[in-house]
Amino acid sequence: MSSRLCGRALQTVRAPPAASSGRWTRTASSSSGRGSMNVFNREMKKRQRNWAAALRDGHQYDYLRDEVGSRVADRVYDIARTFPLALDIGAGKGHMAEHLHKDVVERLFLTDVSEKTLKQRKQTEIPTHCVLADEEFLPFKENTFDLVVILWSLAVCCVTVQIQQVLKPDGVFIGAMVGGETLYELRCSLQLAETEREGGFSPHVSPYTAVTDLGNLLGQAGFNMLTVDTDDVQVHYPGITEVMTDLQGMGESNCAWNRKSMLHRDTILAAAAIYKEMYGNEDGSIPATFEILYMIGWKPHESQAKPAKRGSASVSFGDLSKNLGKSSCDVATSE
C-alpha cells in the first residue's frame, strides 16, 4: 500500500516499528482511565490478548472467531459491490480477512489492541496495512473507508459513532459481537455455586449487549437501513474447566472493572457439578452457548432509497387484503 494512502487514512501516528517494512503503524496511546461509561478495563483486555497470542498452541483456540469471521465475510459477499478501501476493527489474526478476495475488497486496514496477535495474522491476497489501535479510539480521518467491519467487539456502543464518522457517505458497516445470552449456562452455574458456598455472587463473565439495544445504538449513531439478526453457536466441552481454559486461551476472560479476581476451588467444584446436572448431555459433555449478534448499517447518502411520506399511500391495507382474498379464491376455483 502506498505511503500516500496510509497518510490520508491516519490522523495521528507514531513511527512504525523498525522491522515493519512499511506495513505497520502505531497509533498514539489514549487514556484508559475509569470513566462513568467505561465498563471494561482496556489495559486488562490488552494483557489478556497478548498473553493468549503468546501461547504455543494458541491456534487451537481460534475456532470460534474463525467461524464467526466466515459468517461475517458471507455478509460482505451479499453486498453486490467492490470496496476500494476497508477497515477491519479488532481483526485479531485476520479471522474475517482470510475469507475475502481482492475483487471484493481492494485494500484493507487491520486494527487490533494486541501487537502479538496482529503479527500472527493469516495470509490474504488483499494488500493489508496493520494499525495497532484500541477500537474505542480510532485514529482515522472522516469519510475514509467504503466498508468497516468489526468482529467480536466488547462495547459496540462506544465505537458506532466513530465508525459512522470514518465511513464515506453510502459506506456500509457490518459487525458481529457476542450477545447477552452468551454463556448463560456458565453464568448460572457459577452464581448458584458461589451463592451456596460463599453467601453471595460476583460477575465472573463479562456483561454483553442485548439484541434489543442494537437497533437504537445504530440509529443514534446516524446509520440507516439497519439489519440486525442473531445466531447461536453451541460448543460442547468435557467439563467446566475446559470451558474456562478455552475462554482464557481466546483472550476472553472477564475484564470488567467490577470483576472478582479470585474464584475459590470449592466454588469451582460446586459449579462443575451444577453445570452437569442442569445442562449436561447424555454423553457426559456440557454445552456452552455463544449468542452472536450481527448488524448492518449504512451511512446516509442522497442516492439511498427513502421511505415514502406518511399518508402518501394510494391503497389501504384493507383493500389490499380483499384483493388478495379474491385472487386466492379465483385460483382455488380454477383448480
DSSP characters over 177-211 = EEBTTTTHHHHHHHHHHHHHHHSS----S---B-H
147 within domain boundaries: yes
pLDDT at residue number 31: 42
Beta bridge partners of 232: 291
143 within domain boundaries: yes
Cell of 276: 452437569
108 within domain boundaries: yes
Helix (H) or strand (E) holding 106: strand 105-112
120 within domain boundaries: yes
77 — alpha (psi -120 to 50), left (phi > 0) or beta?
Answer: alpha
H helices, E strands: number in the chain: 10, 9
| CATH number, residue 142 | 3.40.50.150
pLDDT at residue number 34: 38
191 within domain boundaries: no
**CA–CA separation, 78 and 84 (whole Å):** 16
> Three-class SS of residue 14?
strand
Q: Cell 402518501 maps to which residue? A: 312
The distance of Cα 35 from the centroid of its chain, to the nearest Å, equals 22
253 within domain boundaries: no
- Contact present, 76 and 98 (Cβ < 8 Å): no
Distance between first and last Cα of the chain: 64
- The whole domain housing 107 covers 42-180+208-236+288-301
190 within domain boundaries: no
Q: Cell 466441552 maps to which residue? A: 237
Beta bridge partners of 129: 109
Say how many domains are in the chain: 1
DSSP characters over 65-124 = HHHHHHHHHHHHHTS-S-EEEEEEET-TTTTTGGG--TTTEEEEEEEES-HHHHHTPPP-
The distance of Cα 250 from the centroid of its chain, to the nearest Å, equals 14
pLDDT less than 70: residues of the chain: 1-41, 153-158, 200-208, 253-262, 307, 324-335
Helix (H) or strand (E) holding 147: strand 145-151
pLDDT at residue number 296: 94
69 within domain boundaries: yes
Cell of 320: 389490499
- Contact present, 76 and 174 (Cβ < 8 Å): yes
